[in-house]
Amino acid sequence: MKPQQLTKPVWAATSSAMELGASRQGRSGRFGMVRAAGMKGLMLIGGAMTLAGCISVNAPDKPIVIELNINIKQEVVYRLAADAGNTIKDNPDIF
Amino acid sequence: MTNFVAPIERSMLAKAGWATLAALVLVAPASAQQRDPAYAAARASGQVGEKVDGYLGFPVAPSAEIRRLADDINIKRKAVYAERAEANGATIEEYAFSAGCQAIARSVPGEKYQAPDGSWQTRTAAAPLRDPRCP
């Protein structure tokens, strides 16, 4: 379903863009005349892209939860091993 | 009453007092040197197990009593982890993870422990499945 919807407007836009060069206004104006339905499709896609943009901007505001285990390095675990072993031995009531 | 006690006797009394206090301090930890019978039973029956992160977890849905017991121990563990982590210049999570490596290694056959993939395993005579970072 999706590729079909995408192909139609892209085909129309590509040919007009090639003819008119870099002028954005001319391209969209001509495009609107050529096919109103294609314009609607573009607006929908544009709307979806705007929404996607909003989400990617808002995400960093929230605390990023990093998997705990990834942060712990093997060398630290090795360094703490002896002390941790003693702690377990010294607290047999809770281990 | 103390007015009638001679200075020498008073110092002797003070010494005796300190001795009693010292004896109490020495005895106090010794009384807490064993697992609570309910905790020992929960471990043996697999109702609680050692997690990778250094705390107790529940291989099966816990009763309210088991949950309270494990929460209580986990709070005490975290207090110990926090103290030792500070002494070693590490984070509580790092120390707890390191202790988890040891606690899983020290589990005995029949007890439950958590494998690195998060699944619960029953300890056998074979070495337990541990995180590759464990020593």
- What pLDDT digit, counting tens, does each position of A2-13 carry? 555 555 555 554
Phi–psi pair at B34, nearest 5 degrees: -135, 155
Q: Are B84 and A87 an interchain contact pair (Cβ–Cβ within 8 Å)?
A: yes
How many A×B Cβ pairs under 8 Å? 77
pLDDT beyond 90 at B75: yes
**Whole-angstrom distance, CA of residue B22 vs CA of residue B14:** 12
The structure's pTM equals: 0.58
- pLDDT, tens digit, 9 for 90 and up, residues A24-81: 444 444 444 445 555 565 565 555 555 556 666 666 666 666 555 567 889 999 999 9
So where are chain B's domains?
A: 1-33, 35-135
Distance in Å, alpha carbon of A63 to nearest chain B alpha carbon:
18
Comparison of pLDDT for B49 and A38, the residue scoring more? B49
CA distance A92 to chain B (A): 6
Neighbours of B134 (CB within 10 A): 19
- A4 at interface of B, judged by CB pairs closer than 8 A: no
Determine whether the interchain pair B99/A72 forms a contact, defined as Cβ–Cβ distance below 8 Å: no
pLDDT at A61: 67
Instruction: Locate the domains of chain A by residue range.
Output: 2-61
pLDDT score, position A23: 44
> CA of B15, closest CA in chain A: separation in Å?
29
Q: Which two tokens stand for residue A91?
A: 């607290």
Tell me how far apart the alpha carbons of residues B17 and B94 are, in angstroms, rounded to a whole number.
Answer: 42
Which amino acid is it at B107? S
DSSP B32-91: T-S--HHHHHHHHTTSSEE-TTSSEE-SSPPPHHHHHHHHHHHHHHHHHHHHHHHHTT--
**Among A54-58, B27-31, B71-75, B87-91, the least confident range:** B27-31
B122: phi then psi, degrees, rounded to nearest 5: -95, 130
Of the candidates B52, B76, B87, the beta carbon closest to that of A94 is on B76
Distances (CA, A) of B106 to A64, A91, B115, B130: 35, 13, 14, 12
Tell me: pLDDT of B76 over 60. yes
Q: What would the two tokens of residue B9 be? A: 């006797």
Q: Give CA separation, A32 vs A4, B97, B118, in Å.
A: 20, 62, 57
Position A72 scores a pLDDT of 81
Identify all chain B residues contacting A91, using CB atoms and an 8 Å cutoff: 76-77, 80
Residue B98 above 80 pLDDT? yes
